[in-house]
Chains A and B, each alone.
Chain A
C-alpha cells in the first residue's frame, strides 16, 4: 500500500503546486488591505502541499505489510460501474429517461453484479418501472422524454 500512497501524495503535491501557481499568477493574491480572488485558493493549496508532504514523510521506510491496492480483480466492478454511469449520463438526453435507465440497470445487473439472468431481468424491469412511476408519475419530476414520448 505504501507505494500507492506515495504516488498519491506526490500527485497531490504536483496538483496543489499547479493550483497555487494559478492562484498566484492568474487570480492574483492582492494586498492585505484588499485581498484578491487568489488568496484563499493559494493558502488552501499550500495547506495541501504541506499536508501531502507530511503524509509522504510518514510513509518513509520499507512497507511492513506490502499488499496490492486492489485485491485480485476487485477493481473490475467499480470500473464497470463508473463506465456504465458515464454511458448512462451520455444517453440520458439522447434516448430519454426510460430506455437509458433500462439499459443502465440491465448492464449493472448482468455485468456488475452478475446475478442469475432471471433475477437480473426481474430487477431491471421492476426497477425501471418503479423509478419511473415514483419520480415521473407520482412526484412529477422532469426527466428527458424518449422518442416514444414517455
Chain B
C-alpha cells in the first residue's frame, strides 16, 4: 500500500505545472539530441549541469535530466533508420535492419515500431522501478562501510566488463578517474594532493568542468576531424503505422526486449547499449527466418529499441536505491543531485520521498509525451539534421565555456575545461570509452571513505570485508568476474595462437 500511496503522491508532484513543463522540455531536448549524431545524453546533461545550480528544486532537476536521458533513447532510432547513422550508441544495432527497412520504403513502419516499442518498454521499466526500488532501498539500509566498498568495487568493475570495449583500457580509465578525484584537499588528513602549489587546484576538480570537457569539448574536437558529421535525409518516410503482419512479428520481440533490457539495465555498465545488443542476438536466434536479419527484419528494430528504453529506465534503480551510477549519463544525474544537496542512496526514498516518487511518476508521463513527440512529429525531427556542424560545434563550445565560467567566475576553470577537452579528444583517438571516468570520479570519495571507515572499524584488519556476509558475497561476485575475464582472455589467446 505504501508504494501506491507514494505513487499517488508522486503523480501529485509530477503533474504540477513546473514539473510537467520540465518533463516536456527534457523529453523534447532528449529526442533532439538523440536525433543529432555526435552529441549523446551524457554530453548534453554535462552541458546542462551549470543550469542545475539555478533550478532550485532537486525533483524538477532530476525530472528534467531523466527526460533527456530516456528521451535520447527514443530519438536515437530516427537517424539509425533514416540515415544508417546512429544518433547515440544504444541505437547502433537498429541501423542493421532499420535502414534496410527504410531502403525498402518501410521507414515509417520502422520508426513507429521503434516508438511504440520504446513506449511499452519504457512503461514496463517504470513499473519495475516502482515496485523493485523501495524494497531494494530498504534492504540497502543495512549496508555499512564494508558493504559499500564491496558494492562500489563490483559496480565499477562490472561497468568496465560489460561496456564491451577493452577491459585493460576500461580499468585504466577507472583508475584515472580516481586519481583525478583525489586532486585537492584531503578532507580527512587536510593534506594537499596533486595540487603542485596551484591555488586553483586546492578545491579539486569540479565534476561539471570535467564532464563538460571530456564529453562536450572532447566530442566536438573529435568531430572536427570528420568531414561530414551530419547526413542528408533522402529516404521517404512512407506509411507510418506497421501492417498487421509486422505487428505480429514485433509484439513478442518488444516484450522480450523490454524484460531483457530491464534486467540488463539494473546492472552497472549494462545500459542501453548492452540491452539492445543482447535483444538483437536473442531475436535472431528465436526467429523462424534468421536469414532476414540484417535485411530489414522488423523484430530486429522492435527488440533492441525496446531493450534500450527499458534499460535506461532500469538504470535509475541502482542510482536511487544504492547511490551507484550505472553509466556515465546516470553519473551526471548523480552529480546533479549532489549539487542540489541530495545524496542518492538508500535513504533517498525515506528522506526525500518527493524526489523518488515525483521522478518515478514523471517517467510514466514522460513516456506518453515521448510517444506523441516521436510518432506524429518525426518529420520535424528530421529537419534538425539540417543544422550544419559549423553552427552546432561552436555553439556547444560557447555553452561549455559560459557554463563553466558562470559556476565559478574564475577563468582558471575555463583552462581546466580545455585541458579535459584535450584529454577527451585523445581518449577517443586512442579508442578509450570515456564512460567509466565520470563514474569513478563521483564514486572515488565513497570508495576512499568506506575503506578508511572499514579499516578503522576493524582496527586495521582486512578480514572485515569477508567476514560480513553481504560484503563477502559481493567480493565473491567480484572474484568470479575477474576469474571469468582471465579465463576468457586465455581462451581467446589460445584460439588466436591455434589460427
**Are the CB atoms of A47 and B174 closer together than 8 Å?**
yes
**Are the CB atoms of B418 and A89 closer together than 8 Å?**
yes
Which of A19, A40, A101 counts the most B-chain CB atoms under 10 A from its CB? A40
In the complex, chain A residues 36-58 whose Cβ is within 8 Å of any chain B Cβ: 36-41, 44-45, 47-48, 50-52, 54-55, 58
Any chain A CB within 8 A of the CB of B186?
yes
The bracket for how many chain B residues form the interface is 35 or more
Residues of A within 8 A of B171 (CB): 47, 50-51
Dominant secondary structure at the A interface: helix
Tell which of A19, A51, A77, A82 touches B225, judged by Cβ atoms closer than 8 Å. A77
- Please measure, in the bound complex, the distance between the C-alpha atom of A32 and the C-alpha atom of B451, giving whole angstroms: 10
**Are the CB atoms of A86 and B189 closer together than 8 Å?**
no
- Please measure, in the bound complex, the distance between the C-alpha atom of A93 and the C-alpha atom of B169, giving whole angstroms: 39
Tell which of B182, B409, B462 touches A44, judged by Cβ atoms closer than 8 Å. B182
Tell which of B172, B398, B411 touches A101, judged by Cβ atoms closer than 8 Å. B398
Residues of A within 8 A of B144 (CB): none
Any chain A CB within 8 A of the CB of B245?
no
- Please measure, in the bound complex, the distance between the C-alpha atom of A127 and the C-alpha atom of B455, giving whole angstroms: 55
**Are the CB atoms of A105 and B221 closer together than 8 Å?**
no
**Are the CB atoms of B418 and A8 closer together than 8 Å?**
no
Tell which of A33, A105, A143 touches B405, judged by Cβ atoms closer than 8 Å. A143
Given A51-B171, A77-B224, does the pair A105, B176 have CB atoms closer than 8 Å? no
Residues of B within 8 A of A14 (CB): none
A-B contact pairs, 13 of them (CB 8 A): A19-B179, A32-B462, A33-B456, A38-B193, A40-B444, A41-B178, A41-B182, A77-B224, A89-B418, A113-B393, A131-B395, A135-B402, A135-B406
B residues neighboring A (CB under 8 Å): 54, 166, 168-169, 171-172, 174-176, 178-179, 182, 186, 188-189, 191, 193-194, 217, 220-222, 224-225, 389-391, 393-395, 397-398, 401-402, 405-406, 409, 411, 414-415, 418, 421-422, 425-426, 429-430, 444, 447-448, 451-452, 455-456, 459-462
A residues neighboring B (CB under 8 Å): 4-5, 8, 12, 19, 22, 27, 31-41, 44-45, 47-48, 50-52, 54-55, 58, 69-71, 74-75, 77-78, 81-82, 85-86, 88-89, 92-93, 97, 101, 104-105, 108-109, 112-113, 115, 119, 123, 127, 131, 135, 139, 141-143
